Structure 1
């Protein structure tokens, strides 16, 4: 992109109040410097993020051949990435026998997420304190199009021309299951290293003092863009209830058509019992790099709708219900919280 075409990042990076930062650093050992609020409704990134990093992301180069998956964290992102990649690549199962990340997808905002003081234990830093080569974690930023790009950034923090240029598959999920899944994720990853219990995690989620929150605002923003012809808006719960129908929706969106037998095979490949045993999506390599706690389970966990019922106390559920009702006042976005049948 020519320098004259670059647009300034439209939001200020705001550091949180000292007391909040102390609580973040105490509860999330992966963020000793706390978090920063990075857009108009408080999307959180590492306090060590720089304006230059966010401006680069806001001006990320676009190509109409590229396909993006945009989600809040823990909305079936990896599951959707595998589905999208296979649909777009003519069901090339042999080609899918290579790591989803970093070989097939780019994860663009990794450097903005991690605390530079913490990630320096695992990856070398440059003389100015920036991350050096992160392609082993995030994909090659210079790979040619067609590229497959994953981000948890909200639409307003991505390139403002994204929907006009690229196909975007967006996935939303009911916030209760996001809370439970994200809690386990933050216990697993050293770059989060959450030390508290689920009740404390939910409190932080509601207050927006967790990395890449606020998730409901994220989903409402995308919901209001769902009619754009370059957006395919999915719900995790619809994928769990009838995956084959959602496969056909995404295939049509990407200009592909597959037989019933081909759709059946892809649904079988993506079934959670098979997916969580797929070495090419489960990021076991990160345990070897020291980025995951080896005793905190796996990257791909349960993939269920309604798992929140196994964790929430009645008091926690009431608190989350109030949070959801307050956030969703004035929108017609609604979430399915449990299913009678799941694929």
Structure 2
């Protein structure tokens, strides 16, 4: 499965444009350990797509067809990722390059500059957001001036089937061990999830494909198999940590943009993690003030490659290694889980 498409992921193509995807309630997400560990799931639970088996909310499921029909423009750039793989970092990188490193425009909230396509529809039925100012619904995204930078955590088969034929897509992947840790803290931070268990229990939910936006590997492998498409740039989070300036140059080349050495150096400084984590246009601190984010913790946490070593014991780490090996069997996809030097 090195160059062929992942046959486990359904496809909507120009030749097969019909929407034939259904969503069914996952009863397990309403009962037992889930009821104990995800206390806010009791009223809504999760929904699973058929085919595909991706877990999303009932709010999304009600709008899934509409979202899949959202029309990309030829000058769009989409940032598509599994959650906690460096999405926000990559969004800011792409937006800055497309907008000539505009220091004034970049002070606006990233959620407004680079809308999260499905976010307004991820809100579960029977809940009402406290603030609508950052809810850029499809009609608002449609009216945005070009070039747009659009973010999505959806797998490709749930997005417009002509996406890669129409515009450029930047996909970023991260090693699953650090994704598990980052997603664990995310589930602790966001009140919608309000996860009350420990990291070992969370890792098992992750490996069992039982979390929102699961499963991890079909999402990543499907994108990996599309990496040779000229409109696709596949990045690794660890490469940005190892050589941020080099990856900035790579993205700029892909986007057909020429930056001066001064702009390149300035953008590297802008994106350095310590500075980035304190940037209120990207770190979600303004969202915290509106509610929905627990007072303890931060949306942008450590960003370190290898932080999983501070969370996994030997037995859990062995189980995760076996899970990774099983899921990568037959592919040429490899992950870096440790770095000696991080930019």
Structure 1 and Structure 2 fold alike (TM over 0.5): yes
Question: Which of 34, 45, 56 is the matching residue for 2:45?
Answer: 34
Secondary structure in 1 matching 2:134: helix
Map Cα deviations across residues 146-193 of structure 1 (whole Å, 9 max, x no partner): 211000001111100000001100000000000000000110001111
Cα gap change, 1:100 to 1:6, in 2 (>3 Å): farther
Return the offset for 1:39: 4.7
Counterpart CA distance in 1 for 2:170 and 2:129 is 34
CA contact (8 A) 2:22 2:50 kept: yes
Return the offset for 1:323: 1.1
The answer for unaligned runs of 5 or more in structure 1 is 124-133
Aligned equivalent of 1:338: 338
Return the offset for 1:121: 6.1
Cα gap change, 1:274 to 1:29, in 2 (>3 Å): same
Aligned equivalent of 1:279: 280
Counterpart CA distance in 1 for 2:115 and 2:301 is 22
Aligned equivalent of 1:80: 90
Aligned equivalent of 1:261: 262
Aligned equivalent of 2:187: 186
Greater shift in the superposed pair: 70-79 or 283-292: 283-292
Return the offset for 1:107: 0.8
Aligned equivalent of 1:216: 217
CA contact (8 A) 2:188 2:196 kept: yes
CA contact (8 A) 2:60 2:118 kept: no
Question: Which of 62, 66, 75 is the matching residue for 2:72?
Answer: 62
Return the offset for 1:137: 3.8
Aligned equivalent of 1:162: 163
Task: Number of aligned residue pairs: give it.
Answer: 324
Secondary structure in 1 matching 2:233: strand
Counterpart CA distance in 1 for 2:78 and 2:68 is 14
Aligned equivalent of 1:106: 115
Cα gap change, 1:25 to 1:110, in 2 (>3 Å): farther
CA contact (8 A) 2:154 2:213 kept: yes
Counterpart CA distance in 2 for 1:108 and 1:65 is 16
Return the offset for 1:41: 3.6
Counterpart CA distance in 1 for 2:175 and 2:148 is 29
Do residues 249 (structure 1) and 250 (structure 2) align? yes
Return the offset for 1:135: 4.6
Aligned equivalent of 2:128: 120
Cα gap change, 1:13 to 1:156, in 2 (>3 Å): same
Cα gap change, 1:145 to 1:181, in 2 (>3 Å): same
Counterpart CA distance in 2 for 1:173 and 1:135 is 31
Return the offset for 1:65: 1.4
Do residues 136 (structure 1) and 131 (structure 2) align? no
CA contact (8 A) 2:83 2:213 kept: yes
Counterpart CA distance in 1 for 2:329 and 2:136 is 36
CA contact (8 A) 1:113 1:211 kept: no
The answer for unaligned runs of 5 or more in structure 2 is 1-14
Secondary structure in 2 matching 1:116: coil
Map Cα deviations across residues 122-146 of structure 1 (whole Å, 9 max, x no partner): 36xxxxxxxxxx4524463232332
CA contact (8 A) 1:24 1:35 kept: no
Return the offset for 1:48: 4.5
CA contact (8 A) 2:98 2:147 kept: no
RMSD across aligned positions (CA): 1.9
Return the offset for 1:230: 0.4
Map Cα deviations across residues 202-257 of structure 1 (whole Å, 9 max, x no partner): 01001111111111211100000000000010000000000111000100011012
Counterpart CA distance in 2 for 1:208 and 1:9 is 24
Secondary structure in 1 matching 2:269: helix
